[in-house]
Structure 1
Amino acid sequence: MTTMELSDAEVAALLAEEAGAWLLKLRDERGFDDPTALRRDGDIGSHRLIMAALRQRFPDDAVLSEEGEGESGRTGSARLSASRVWIVDPLDGTREYGEAGRSDWAVHVALWKDGALSDGAVALPAAGHVLSSDAPPSPRWTDRRPRIAVSRSRPPALVESVATALDAELVPMGSAGAKVAAVVLGRVDAYVHAGGQYEWDSAAPVAVARAAGLHTSRIDGASLTYNNPDPKLTDLVVCRPDLATRLLAAIADAPTPPTARKE
């Protein structure tokens, strides 16, 4: 990978795109006879490619990666005093990556700088998309029954109540990146999650969603923050801005709404 003279957002997009291309090649070469090995090697290989590129261009920056160990992993402490931290999920939607024909998996690369997310990119390699905070698409939603993206494997129970309150359709999907991208692209109206995640699951998607003018928050309406000592970030809401008030109210009124603050 080479990054030349690019902005941070352009670097994020390039790294996500090139790691995604490598993952597609690995998938094509290996096939799906051993999906467990494919998923493992995809995760590790994509992490190594992104890490090597970041070390070459930004040797002084800190990294928080799902596949990282030591200072680049969840127990690292150097990032807590760093001014620049790359938050990476080298393969979001590992389950879907190992299934033939599925495109709802992603590569996430985000930059946290001076206390807040500043840049991010989400590559959807099998779908042919790279979404960047530098040039996000302008979502165009139709006047329709609301559509809410939810986890394909772990849909939170409260979303059933929310869907009933809003007369919404639930749309199961794979990775968090794919679900947020569906909102950014106007294919669904919201993504609600309350089943447990980490910062790398949402940092890059949230950076892109914010740049596109979407609402992003915890399920109780609190702000999403990153580069915390504990990278667990259990819940989030991403939605079209005109739906946010109704959606958060429906979540609050759910029979047994989870509490964002208890982790």
Structure 2
Amino acid sequence: MTDAELAAVLAKSTGEILLAIRKAGLLHGRSLGIAGDRIANHYILDALRAQRPHDGILSEESVDTPERLTHKRVWIIDPLDGTREYCEGRADWAVHIALSINGEPAVGAVALPAQGVLFRSDAPPAVPQAPSGPLRLLVSRTRPPVEADRVAAALEAELVPMGSAGAKAMAVLLGTGDVYLHAGGQYEWDNCAPAAVALSAGLNATRLDGAPLEYNRPDPRLPDLLICPPELAGPVQAALA
């Protein structure tokens, strides 16, 4: 099994587990989110340790240690991206499985289980044509950044609130949004898998200032992100300058 195949299998099967837990109806609210995070994380960690025992791992749901910094290959995972949306019965949550090699987002798979969609970096979809209407700017439905208002005003774009980072990033590939802009705080597990998939599809995936995304750093915070077609990156960055 290649790294990309492993990422895809893990993302898909983890999503199926999370759907089954939610469908059972035995847990609700915070308890559902805690169980989903914990069970998904344990499953992914056990599978990675069995399939890639010599690689490092960075997971949102596990205590981080400096040991991963000794590895060139590090799996960066978010077992349940969008726990709030998952608990609320929404569809805009995701599973992120990524492999960083020498600090780059080399391999990624993003599952949107409630939508029945799986994105993988070894089989990227074609990016849909931009619509003729206003640009659609994907932002957090609970914490939209002030930078988004500036870009929307400059480019006459409309804001499209959505849940998890993975759901917003993949909305650009689904054609339900044009630009995903985030500022104000993320971690490597929030965007490594979406960035790997976006880059494989030919999209721009950078920091807001155009700097490349770097992974497996001592501090896993990665505060801002821009995913969009390459031709839109310049206008967005100009609006932010």
Q: Is 2:73 the counterpart of 1:78?
A: no
Give ranges in structure 2 of 5+ residues lacking alignment.
Answer: none
User: In the alignment, which of 112, 124, 127 is matched to residue 115 of structure 2?
Assistant: 127
For 1:12, the equivalent position in structure 2 comes to: 7
Q: Is 2:24 the counterpart of 1:24?
A: no
| Segments of 4+ moved more than 6 angstroms | none
C-alpha distance in structure 2 between counterparts of 1:115 and 1:152, whole Å: 30
How many Å apart are 1:143 and its aligned residue?
2.7
For 2:233, the equivalent position in structure 1 comes to: 244
How many Å apart are 1:31 and its aligned residue?
5.4
Q: Is 2:75 the counterpart of 1:52?
A: no
Deviations 1:4-61 (A, max 9, x none): xx110110010010000000000001256x3100000000100001001001111111
C-alpha distance in structure 1 between counterparts of 2:240 and 2:113, whole Å: 33
Q: Is the 8 A contact 1:83 1:113 kept in 2?
A: yes
Specify the code of the residue in structure 2 equivalent to 1:104.
D
Q: Is the 8 A contact 1:155 1:195 kept in 2?
A: no
TM-score, normalising length: structure 2: 0.97
Specify the code of the residue in structure 1 equivalent to 2:75.
W
C-alpha distance in structure 2 between counterparts of 1:63 and 1:151, whole Å: 27
Q: Is 2:88 the counterpart of 1:99?
A: yes
- Number of corresponding residues: 240
Q: Is 2:158 the counterpart of 1:200?
A: no
For 1:36, the equivalent position in structure 2 comes to: 30
C-alpha distance in structure 2 between counterparts of 1:195 and 1:159, whole Å: 11
3-state SS of the aligned residue for 2:167? helix
Q: Is the 8 A contact 2:103 2:217 kept in 1?
A: no
C-alpha distance in structure 2 between counterparts of 1:243 and 1:116, whole Å: 23
Deviations 1:205-259 (A, max 9, x none): 000000000011111111111111000001010011111110110111xxxxxxx
C-alpha distance in structure 1 between counterparts of 2:8 and 2:240, whole Å: 33
Give ranges in structure 1 of 5+ residues lacking alignment.
Answer: 1-5, 253-263
How many Å apart are 1:157 and its aligned residue?
1.0
Deviations 1:54-106 (A, max 9, x none): 0111111110000012xxx2xx1111120210000000000000002x10000
- Percent identity at matched positions? 53
